[in-house]
């Protein structure tokens, strides 16, 4: 696969108009078997690099997935990260804030779940919900208990600044951030919602509020455009992933993750002179155990 991540990256300072970004492109695979082979290669590379990431214990990786309902966030996380050691990876899904979370600033509930060094953290939705769904539904903002003087039109610019400051701080402390917007067409979402009705095991995923949200499609598009334009940086880039083809989206995302880990120059820690000396002592002790047991 020859995915060029620049084809999907929102460059810093770029004004995003999502109608110009495709929701479907020519797939990087010719058959189901080839898709499985390519994905398998990506998973194998990701697993190997995650092991080195864990052993080095210097960097951490934060993956953020945003998108409309049915865009495929769960599927990408499930398939792409299937080969990753669970000890070095954590997934967090951010739904409606709890009463306790509402008593804190909007970054608090996700900040406490950030990955530690050597780990991969995955956010299924994230702090970006507070400049997306909250912007589309301003009544939610009223429930966040902010001072009256802060409830102004420029609150979104302030939140963008808070996000940029956080992500810049994380980068300076060894966390690399990849942000994926799964770009789904309105018609494809309709088809996937219908499929949830036809598949009994997925009935639980669909309710009337999901259908009501479709009325705000254009509002969400504008909110995403503003967000992507304001918060994509060289250090923490946004990638707009064509999501109408689930399999192709998984291949694109997995390739970008692998490429990012490769750029870190990961390797297993090498033993210094003192450690090599210690290893010789350990070897001798273990060999002596065998000799003593044979006597």
Check residue 3 and give its pLDDT: 76
Question: What per-residue string of b and e applies to 45-84 under the rule 16 or more CB within 10 Å gives b?
Answer: bbeebbebbbebeebbbbbbbbbbbbbbbebbbebbbebb
Residue 128 near residue 223, CB atoms below 8 Å: no
**What is the per-residue pLDDT across 267-290, written as a single tens digit (0 to 9) for each?**
999 989 999 999 999 999 998 887
Question: What are the respective helix, strand and coil percentages of the chain, to the nearest 5?
Answer: 55, 10, 30
**In 3-state terms, what secondary structure has residue 123?**
strand
Return the exposure string of 108-135: e unless at least 16 CB atoms fall within 10 Å of the residue's CB, then b: ebbeeebbeebbbbbbbbbbbbbbbbbb
Q: What is the CATH number of the domain that holds 12?
A: 3.40.50.300
DSSP secondary structure letter of residue 237: -
pLDDT at residue 135, as a whole number: 95
- What percent of the chain is predicted at pLDDT more than 90? 84
SS3 212: helix
Across the beta sheet with 60-67, what order do the strands follow? 9-10, 238-242, 175-183, 60-67, 120-124, 89-93
* Residue 227 host element (H or E): helix 217-231
Q: What is the mean pLDDT of residues 197-220?
A: 93
Check residue 83 and give its pLDDT.
86
Cα→Cα distances 14→10, 27, 65, 157, Å: 7, 26, 20, 16
pLDDT category of residue 294 using cuts at 50, 70 and 90: low
Contact 226, 218 (CB under 8 A): no
pLDDT number for residue 152 = 76
Predicted confidence (pLDDT) per residue in 85-142, tens digit: 888 999 999 988 999 999 999 999 999 999 999 999 999 999 999 999 999 999 999 8
Q: What does R_g of the chain's alpha carbons equal in angstroms? A: 22
Q: How far apart are CA 37 and CA 32, in angstroms?
A: 9
- Say how far apart CA 176 and CA 260 lie, in whole Å: 9
pTM, 2 dp: 0.93
The CA distance from 181 to 73, in Å, is: 9
Structure confidence at residue 2 (pLDDT):
63
- For the residues 141-168, what does the mean pLDDT come to? 91
Q: Is the per-residue pLDDT at 178 higher than 90?
A: yes
* Between residues 233 and 148, the one the model is more confident about: 233
Total number of domains constituting the chain? 1
- How many angstroms separate the CA atoms of 69 and 4, rounded? 27
d(CA 263, CA 259): 6
pLDDT, tens only, 23-78: 999 998 999 999 999 999 999 999 999 999 999 999 999 999 999 999 999 999 99
Nearest to 35 by CA among 254, 241, 260, 257: 254
Domain, as residue range, for 169: 5-294
Q: Rounded mean pLDDT of the chain?
A: 94
């Amino acid at each position: 696969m020859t995915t060029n991540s620049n084809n999907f990256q929102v460059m810093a300072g770029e004004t995003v108009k999502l109608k110009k970004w495709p929701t479907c492109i020519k797939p990087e695979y010719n058959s189901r078997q080839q898709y499985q082979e390519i994905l398998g290669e990506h998973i194998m590379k990701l697993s190997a690099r995650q092991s080195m990431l864990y052993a080095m214990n210097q960097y951490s990786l934060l993956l953020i997935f945003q998108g409309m309902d049915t865009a495929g966030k769960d599927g990408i996380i499930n398939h792409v990260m299937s080969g990753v050691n669970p000890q070095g990876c954590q997934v967090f899904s951010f739904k409606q804030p709890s009463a306790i979370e509402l008593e804190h600033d909007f970054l608090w509930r996700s900040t406490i779940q950030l990955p530690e060094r050597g780990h991969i953290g995955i956010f299924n939705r994230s702090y970006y919900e507070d400049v997306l769904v909250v912007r589309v539904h301003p009544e939610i903002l009223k429930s966040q208990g902010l001072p009256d003087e802060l409830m102004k039109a420029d609150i979104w610019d302030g939140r963008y600044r808070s996000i940029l400051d956080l992500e810049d701080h994380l980068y300076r402390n060894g966390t690399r951030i990849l942000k994926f917007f799964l770009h789904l067409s309105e018609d494809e979402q309709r088809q996937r919602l219908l499929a949830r009705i036809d598949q009994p095991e997925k009935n639980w995923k669909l309710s009337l509020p999901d259908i009501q949200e479709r009325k705000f499609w254009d509002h969400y598009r504008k909110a995403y455009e503003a967000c992507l334009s304001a918060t994509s940086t060289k250090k923490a880039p946004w990638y707009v992933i064509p999501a109408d083809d689930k399999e192709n989206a998984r291949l694109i995302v997995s390739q970008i993750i692998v490429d990012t880990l490769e750029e870190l120059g990961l390797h297993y820690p090498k033993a210094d002179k003192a450690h090599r000396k210690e290893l010789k002592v350990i070897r001798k002790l273990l060999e002596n155990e065998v000799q003593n047991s044979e006597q």
